Structure 1
Amino acid sequence: MNWLKNWAQISPQKKFINDATFFDVDHASSFLAKKWEHPLQNHTRIGLLSENSLAMCVAIFALLKLGKEILFLNTHLSLSELTEQISDAQLSTVVSASQFEHRVTHLPLKIPPLFLSVLTEIPKLHHESFFLPEQPEKIAFIMNTSATTGKFKSVPITEKMVYAQVKASKEILGSFFDDNWLIATPLFHVSGLSILMRSLYNGTAVSILSKFDEDKILKAVETEEINMMSLVPTMLSRLIERLEKHRLRVILLGGAFIPRALIDAALKKELPIYKTYGMTETFSQSATLNLSHHHDKLDAVGRALPTVQITLKNVNKDGIGEIMIDSPMVMRGYLLKPPLSGPFETGDIGFIDADGFLYVLNRRNDIIISGGENIYPKEIENLVYELPEIEECVVIPRADEKWGQVPVLYYSCKDSVITDSTILSYLKGKLAKFKLPRQIIYCQTLPKNASGKIIRKVLK
C-alpha cells in the first residue's frame, strides 16, 4: 500500500491533512518509521491510542511503512477495558498520544510504550524511502466493534478490504481534485479511518478535528474549506438548523438509526445527503442512497456498492429476512478466532424491494417479541421523532410475565419539554395497541459511545 509515496511524487505540494502536504506527511512518516524501526523490529501488532490529529495520521502511515498491524484503541475506554483489549489481541506495545501517558504506563505491555509529540512542524532531515510490496491478505488495521449490545470483537482489516472499499466508494461518490473531507468522527472508528483511506487513495484533502465541534464545523462549511463530510444522525441534528451557505457535495450519513424527521429537514434544506449502511466487519460502506435522486425511497439505505452482494436468509412470508453481505471488503474472521466463510451475517433484519433497494428494519437482537408478535423498535422510534420536542429516543424490551416482552421508550428533549401522556396520545391510532410503549422514561441524555450510537445495553 504505497499510495502516500505515490501522491508525494505526483503532487508533492498538494494539501493532504489540514495544512500538511502529501510530501510533508510522507516525509514525516518516513522519519518516524526510521526512528521506530529498531524498537519495534520484533513486534508485529501495535496499539494506537490517540485523539484525531495530524500526529496520529503520521503515526498510522509510519506503522504501515514498517509493515505493522495497527490496533486502534478507543480513547474513552477505562484502564480495565484497555487492558482487556490489549490482552485479547496479544499486543506487544502501544503508541500513545502524550495526554494518555497516565493510562498506558499501567497497561500489561511487553515493551515500554512509545509516545507521540504534538507535530508542530515537519522534520526537514533527509529520510529513508520505504517501499512495501502489495500484500492483499496482510492485516493493515484492527478495529474493535462498538459493542453497543455486548462484548467488543476485534476485526482484522486487510489491504484487500481497504482497496475494495475505497475503489467502490469512489465509483458511488466520485472524486474531484479540490475535494476536502471533514473528519469529525474518531479515527479509531471505521467511519473516520475509511475517510482518511479514501482521501489517500483519491489524492484529495482531509480536514481533521480532534472531536466533534459544531462551531468549527460550521465555520469550515461557511468558508467553503470543506465540501464533504461524514456524520452520524445526532451530529447532523445539532448542525442542521445552522447549515446555510455551503459548497457541500456529499454528507455521508449513517452509523445509527436516521429519524425520518431528520431526513425531511435535510431535504427541505436541499442538503446533499447520502444515507449509508455498513459496519466495521465490512470496512464501512456496503450500500448507499443519494436522497436527492430517490425521493420515493427515503426509508431505504440504498443499493449495494459495486462488488457487494446483499442477500437475505430465513425470509418470512412478508419478504423480511436476515441481511447477509458478501464482497472483497468483508472480513473473513475475527482476530485470533476461527475463520469464517461465505456471506457475513450482519445481525440486521430487513427486506429488498423490487428495484434492489435495501431496507433495514432493526437489529435482530433488538426485535421485541410480545405475545408472539414481532415489534420493530425503529417503527416506534420513527414516530416519536416526529414530535418536535424530542431530541433522541430509543425503544428497548422489558420482560413481562403475561406477554413475554413489552416495549419501553426512553427519550430526551430539546429546549422544550413534553409529557409522557402527550407522547402516548400521539402514538395511539398510529400503532397497534400491542406496539404502544408500556412505560415511557425521560432522560436528560441517552448513553452513547464515541461514534454517537445509543448504547442499548446500558438501558436494559
Structure 2
Amino acid sequence: MMEWLRYGAQHYPNRKCINEYTYNDIYRGVLHVARNLVPLDASRVAILSDNSVTMAMYVLAAMLVHKEVLLLNVHLKLKEIENQLDQLGVTTVLHSKERRNQLSHFVDSEASNSIVTIEFETLESILSDLAVEDFFDWTFADADIAVIMNTSATTGQFKSVPLRWGQIKAHVQASQEVLGKTEQDNWLMVLPLFHVSGLSILMRSLYNGTAVTILPKYDEAQVLKLIESEQINMMSLVPTILTQLEPHITHHVLRVILLGGEFIPLALIDACEKKSLPIYKTYGMTETFSQSVTFSVLEYPHKRESVGKPLPGMQVRIDNPDADGVGEIHLTGPMVMTGYINKEPIDGDFNTDDIGYIDEDGFVYILNRRKDLIISGGENIYPKELEDLVYTLPSVKECVVVPVPDAKWGQVPALFVAFHDGKSLPPEDILAFMTNSLAKYKIPKYVKVLTALPRNGTGKILRNKLKFEN
C-alpha cells in the first residue's frame, strides 16, 4: 500500500502532498530516511513526536523498510513509555528534537542502555539529498503489521492494537467511496499523527493522491485562516474543537468535516446545519482503523441523532438486544483487527463495549459506552441522554454525567458542568429544567460546576478523573 506514495511521485510529482511539499519531495525524503533506517536490525521501532512533515516522513520511511511502527503518545510519562517499550520488545526510539528531553533518561542512564534513541534529521537536510536511490521493496502482505497503537483502558493498563496493511487498504477504499474525492482536496490534520484519527488522514490522502496540511497542534486562528483562504476543504475534528471553531466560520469551501471521537451534542449539529457546514458524523476506534460508520448530516437531517451507516464491507450487529432492540454493538469486516498483541485472537466479531441499536433504515445509534452506563435501582440511565439535554441550555459550555456510588440505589448520576464566561446558572435551575423532560430516577443527585472538564491529548473527556465527594 506504500506504493501510493511512489505512484504519486511517478504520475503527479508536482502535486502538493504534505503542506508545501510535493509528492516528489515527500517521496525523495522518505527514501532518504528509509536508507538510514535500513541498518537497524530491530523488527519494531517506536516514534515519539508531535505532528510535523518530518514525523510523517519518518513514519512512512519506517513502514517502507518493513518495520512495525509503535506510535507513542507524547503525553506519556517516562514510566509509561518504559512500560510500553518493554512489553512490546522495542529497543529503538526515533524522536523529534523537541521530544529529546522526554527521553533523556535513556540517553543518560546506564540502566537503560538497551534503548537506542535516534533524533530526526532536519527537514532541510532530508530534502537536500538529491541523489537518493529507490532500491526498496514496496510490496506488503495484508497480514503484515504496519503500525502498533496502544489504547489505554480505564484501569490504566494499555492494550496493543496491531494495524495491518489489509485493514488500512480496506479502510481507505471504503472511506473514499463514502466521502468521495476531488483533485482539490486538502485535508487538515490537527489531530495527532500518533493517534488513529491523524494516521488515517495521511493514509487516505496518499491513497487518493490528494494533499494534507499538518499543523503541529490545534491553533484556532491558523485553522480559520486556512478555511477562509480556501487552502483546505476537509477537516477531521472532535466536537470540543468544532464547538469553539463553529461560531467563527463564515466564508468557506469545506467539503467534509469528519466529526467523531466522542459524543456529539445536538446543539452543535444544529448550529452547523444552520450554516450548511458539511458534517459527516463518524463512529470508529483504533481497533477498526478509525471511521467504520459514517453519514452526511446535511443529506440525512432526520437521522441526525445516529452515527450513520457502516462503511462498505463493514457489518454492525446488536448482541443480546432487549425488547427495544438495544444491546451491545459488535463489528465485523476487513477493517477490524484480528486481536490485541499478546492476547487471544478475536473469534468472529469485535465487541465495541458500546450500547446502541440499528433502526429500520440501517442507521446505527450509540446510546453509551458500556462502562459509562449508570444502573440505578435496576434502571439503566444513559449519560448521553442527560448530557444532550443539558447541552440545549445556551449558557452551557460542556458537561458530563458520571455514576456515583449510592447506598440505596447502587449508583446515582452526578453532573459536572462548565459554563461560557459570565453565564453560570445555579444548580437548582439546571435540575428544575431537567425535571421537565426526564423521569425522576434520571435526574442527577449532585451537580458540580467546574471551569473546564479534564481532557486527554485528543480532546476526549476523562470521565474517570471526575470524582464526586458527597
| TM-score bracket relative to the smaller structure | over 0.9
Asked if the contact 2:32–2:129 (Cα under 8 Å) also holds between the matched residues in 1, the reply is: no
User: Post-superposition shift, 1:110?
Assistant: 2.7
Amino acid at match of 2:45: I
Amino acid at match of 1:126: A
**Alignment match, 1:291:** 297
How does 1:269-418 map onto structure 2 within 5 Å?
Answer: 269-415=275-421, 416-418=423-425
| CA separation of 1:134 and 1:318: change in aligned 2, threshold 3 A | same
**Alignment match, 1:424:** 431
When the two chains are superposed, the root-mean-square deviation of aligned CA atoms in Å is 1.2
Asked if the contact 1:47–1:73 (Cα under 8 Å) also holds between the matched residues in 2, the reply is: yes
For 1:66 and 1:327, how far apart are their aligned partners in 2?
Answer: 28
- Asked if 1:239 corresponds to 2:274, the answer is no
Amino acid at match of 1:144: N
Asked if the contact 1:105–1:113 (Cα under 8 Å) also holds between the matched residues in 2, the reply is: no
For 2:113 and 2:395, how far apart are their aligned partners in 1?
Answer: 49
**Alignment match, 1:7:** 8
Amino acid at match of 1:128: E
For 1:216 and 1:349, how far apart are their aligned partners in 2?
Answer: 37
Asked if the contact 1:146–1:449 (Cα under 8 Å) also holds between the matched residues in 2, the reply is: no
User: Post-superposition shift, 1:101?
Assistant: 1.2
Which residue among 113, 117, 121 is the counterpart of 1:117? 121
SS at match of 1:337: coil
Task: Count residues in correspondence.
Answer: 458
Asked if the contact 1:409–1:441 (Cα under 8 Å) also holds between the matched residues in 2, the reply is: yes
SS at match of 2:45: strand
Amino acid at match of 1:117: E
For 1:9 and 1:246, how far apart are their aligned partners in 2?
Answer: 32
SS at match of 2:63: helix
SS at match of 1:293: coil
How does 1:152-301 map onto structure 2 within 5 Å?
Answer: 152-301=158-307
**Contiguous gaps of at least 5 residues in structure 2:** 107-111
For 1:324 and 1:290, how far apart are their aligned partners in 2?
Answer: 22
For 2:122 and 2:291, how far apart are their aligned partners in 1?
Answer: 32
For 1:105 and 1:240, how far apart are their aligned partners in 2?
Answer: 40
Asked if the contact 2:293–2:310 (Cα under 8 Å) also holds between the matched residues in 1, the reply is: yes
Superposition misfits of 4+ residues, deviation over 6 angstroms:
none
User: Post-superposition shift, 1:426?
Assistant: 1.0
Q: Deviations over 1:326-357 (max 9, x none)?
A: 01110011112221121100000000000000
Q: Deviations over 1:368-394 (max 9, x none)?
A: 000000000000000010111111111
User: Post-superposition shift, 1:146?
Assistant: 4.8
For 1:16 and 1:421, how far apart are their aligned partners in 2?
Answer: 54
How does 1:37-186 map onto structure 2 within 5 Å?
Answer: 37-38=38-39, 40=40, 42-107=41-106, 108=112, 110-120=114-124, 122-129=127-134, 130-147=136-153, 150-186=156-192
| CA separation of 1:317 and 1:162: change in aligned 2, threshold 3 A | same
For 2:408 and 2:351, how far apart are their aligned partners in 1?
Answer: 32
For 1:369 and 1:328, how far apart are their aligned partners in 2?
Answer: 35
Amino acid at match of 1:205: A
Asked if the contact 1:138–1:159 (Cα under 8 Å) also holds between the matched residues in 2, the reply is: yes
For 1:252 and 1:278, how far apart are their aligned partners in 2?
Answer: 11
Asked if the contact 1:93–1:109 (Cα under 8 Å) also holds between the matched residues in 2, the reply is: no
Percent pairwise identity? 50
**Alignment match, 2:109:** none
Amino acid at match of 1:197: M
For 1:111 and 1:191, how far apart are their aligned partners in 2?
Answer: 28
For 2:18 and 2:61, how far apart are their aligned partners in 1?
Answer: 15
SS at match of 2:436: coil
**Contiguous gaps of at least 5 residues in structure 1:** none
- Asked if 1:19 corresponds to 2:20, the answer is yes
Give the TM-score, by structure 1 length: 0.98
Q: Deviations over 1:139-190 (max 9, x none)?
A: 0001122545643211000000000000000000001111000001001111
